[in-house]
Amino acid sequence: MLEYFGKAVYKGIVMGPVAVLKKQECAVKRAKISDEKQELERLAAAVKQAKLQLQGLYERAIKEVGEASAAIFEVHQMMLDDEDYMEAVHNMICGEKVNAEYAVAMTGDNFSEMFASMEDDYMKARAADVKDISNRVIRILSGQKDIDLNSMDPSIIIAEDLSPSETVQMDKERILAFVTIHGSANSHTAILARMMNIPALIGVPLDLEELHTGMKAVVDAFQGKVIFEPSDEVVETAAKRMQEEKEKLLLLQTLKGKENITLDGRKINVYANIGSVGDVGYVLENDAGGIGLFRSEFLYLGRDDFPSEEEQFQAYKQVVQMMAGKKVIIRTLDIGADKQVDYFNLGYEENPAMGYRAIRICLKQPEIFKTQLRALLRASVYGNLSIMYPMITSTEEVERIKEIVKGIQMELELGKIPYKIPEQGIMIETPAAVMISDELAELVDFFSIGTNDLTQYTLAVDRQNERLDEFYNAHHKAILRMIEMVVENAHKCGKWAGICGELGADLELTEQFVKMGVDELSVAPSMVLKIRKAVREIGQKETGK
Ligand code: PEP
Ligand code: MG
């Protein structure tokens, strides 16, 4: 039995096989060969197998994420048929008498560099694809087992670290828990785990060499521990605890359909945060009153090129239609900082959290912003859609956004394309926005407080830095006073204010938020009924005397 402790970012208890994800640095060795024919046969068999794998991925992706996102696997298959690429590999094997792994690695590097140096953005983006297909062939040639996250049995994912773009591509149904060596409690990977309702432990000092895929483990995120090869006794206790948790969840189900109302009659909206169309099921399952934050940037992660207007329109339309008249607040692109996407070519930054991100990218590269806004205005026709802009620091930014929206409106009008101007609000997640929230309130329809970034910027604590987790205190008086101030300024202007940062789901603060007059709490879907329960226990019933 091997026992490790870490920090829980989403509580729960699970048991099952583990899948160990090791960063596959394909350290390919050059070896002399004597039989070129045999080497070419080995290569042909590996390429054939790679194509079969890609075909399988393509077919599954079509069903799960749609044609547009699946297309990349088709492109990869075509690249394996590319005559120039294959001829270069063959020439190297026969000319230099080297092993196939080495020939594929060298050719992959050369082609990738060639693509990277091209002017055309589309061709530039192919550099990563050539690397990807070369690595796939090398893994097959060298007999490395590729864990197929999309077809494995439900497993506990063990990794050094996970980026948001890696996490967002995983099939939630196949993940029992996340256990990572690194990671910070406030990172987007942690937020994704909460949103996906998946127990997660970070900062676990694992030795990955000791672990292998298929081992059995128990993750008890209530106690912050993971036990590999558990004893019968541990398994038995875990099974009992899992049953208890199941019963607690069943009890919460009885709150479905009930109001979020305090004992003395104060009502609050409890909405849910999502990252993809696929999450809407969890929102409905947990009876959320709406969607308070759709992190639209996740549509841009884990792919090789920008999503088109049509693709975005379909995604937003689907969400508002599925929510059938309930409010859906879609936040515009908040890329940057820990949410990195190669094709944005954001470049190296000393300080990305305070760098080129979110609304700054949208205002400096309006063509990206406009595509998204067009899709949003068009989708607005199909339901109760609101737009929310992230990382606002000034009234000028809001004025500039309004100008851009006006331009889009004219374009759609001229093109006779159906659209609706939705309710528009901003995120309050910088101290600057808090301090001028009285002026900002005049310009927008609502505020949603992003306590994750607000805490980071107010306390000068990088939310990504795992060494600073103990200093990241979202309960700090400064934060709570800021929330109160923002709500007051919104109300003075007749606007509403909610919280969509992780603090909104903090049950220790629910009562305080209600007393401050917070109008809405938007939380991970799995927290909706817990917040409803907490709200319904606040205050005292009127005795009627
Ligand atoms: C926040 O900053 O609180 C927020 C909700 O946005 P994100 O976590 O995506 O930065
Ligand atoms: Mg934020």
For the CA of 293, the closest atom of ligand 1 is 5
User: What's the CA gap between 482 and 485, in Å, rounded?
Assistant: 5
What pLDDT sits at residue 161?
A: 87
Cα angle 262, 263, 267; round to 5:
25
Distance 191 CA to ligand 1 centre (A): 9
Ligand that comes closest to the CA of residue 274? 1
Integer Cα distance of 111 and 129 in angstroms: 10
Whole-angstrom distance, CA of residue 350 vs CA of residue 354: 9
Ion ligand 2: residues, Cβ under 5 Å: 429, 450, 453
- Best CA proximity match to 429, nearest among 454, 458, 392, 394: 454
Residue 108, strand partner residues = none
Beta bridge partners of residue 216, listed in sequence order: 17
pLDDT for 23 equals 67
> Which residue's C-alpha comes closest to atom 6 of ligand 1?
450
Residue of minimum CA distance from atom 4 in ligand 1: 450
Listed in sequence order, the residues at least 6 apart from 7 whose beta carbon sits closer than 8 Å to its beta carbon are: 185, 201, 202, 203, 224, 469
pTM to 2 decimals? 0.76
Is 90 a residue of the active site? Answer: no
Q: How far is the CA of 493 from the centre of ligand 2 (A)?
A: 24
Pocket probe mutation, ligand 1, options 165, 273, 334, max atoms within 8 Å of Cβ: 334
User: Strands 225-228 and 2-5: what pairing?
Assistant: antiparallel
Residue with tokens 């956004």: 401
The Cα 1–Cα 267 span in angstroms is 50
| Amino acid, res. 506 | D
Q: Provide the percentage of residues in the chain whose pLDDT is more than 90.
A: 72
User: Quick one: pLDDT at residue 69?
Assistant: 61
Cα–Cα separations (whole angstroms), residue 28 to 47, 53, 211: 17, 21, 23
Write down the pLDDT at residue 146: 62
Angle at 306 between CA 271 and CA 51, to 5 degrees: 110
Greater pLDDT, 147 or 303: 303
How far is residue 456's CA from residue 473's CA, in Å, rounded to a whole number? 9
Residue 274 — φ and ψ, nearest 5°? Answer: -135, 165
Task: List, chain by chain if needed, residues with CB within 6 Å of any ligand 1 atom.
Answer: 191, 293, 295, 334, 429, 450-453, 500-501
d(CA 120, CA 305) in angstroms, rounded, equals: 13
The answer to whether 482 and 434 are in contact (CB under 8 A) is: yes
- Pocket-testing residue among 9, 333, 391, 427, ligand 1, by greatest number of atoms within 8 A of Cβ: 427
Instruction: Exactly one of 76, 90, 188, 362 is catalytic; name it.
Output: 188
Is 493 in the active site? no
Rounded to the nearest angstrom, the distance between the alpha carbon of 335 and the centre of ligand 2 is: 10
CA 127-132-136 angle, 5° bins: 150
pLDDT tens figures, 483-497: 999 999 999 999 999
Candidate list 76, 90, 362, 500, residue with the active-site label: 500
Ligand 1 mean position, distance from CA 359 (Å):
13
Which atom belonging to ligand 1 lies closest to the Cα atom of 503? 3
Among candidate residues 72, 112, 121, the one with its CA nearest the CA of residue 88: 112
Asked if the model's pLDDT at residue 401 lies above 70, the reply is: yes
* Model confidence pLDDT, tens digit, residues 328-373: 999 999 998 888 888 888 888 989 999 999 999 999 999 999 999 9
Indicate which ligand has the atom closest to the C-alpha of 339: 1
Place of tokens 């099974």: 239
Tally Cβ neighbours within 10 Å of residue 419. Answer: 19
- Taking the C-alpha atoms of residue 30 and residue 110, their distance in angstroms, rounded to an integer, is 16
Question: 454 CA distance to ligand 1 centroid (A)?
Answer: 8
Ligand 2 centroid–CA 272 distance in Å is: 16
pLDDT digits (tens, 9 = 90+) for 109-150: 999 888 888 877 777 777 778 888 898 899 889 877 666 676
Q: Given the structure tokens 């256990």, which residue do they identify?
A: 179
Q: What local confidence, expressed as pLDDT, does residue 25 receive?
A: 54
Q: Which ligand is nearest to the CA of 187?
A: 1
Instruction: Name the 3-class secondary structure at 3.
Output: strand
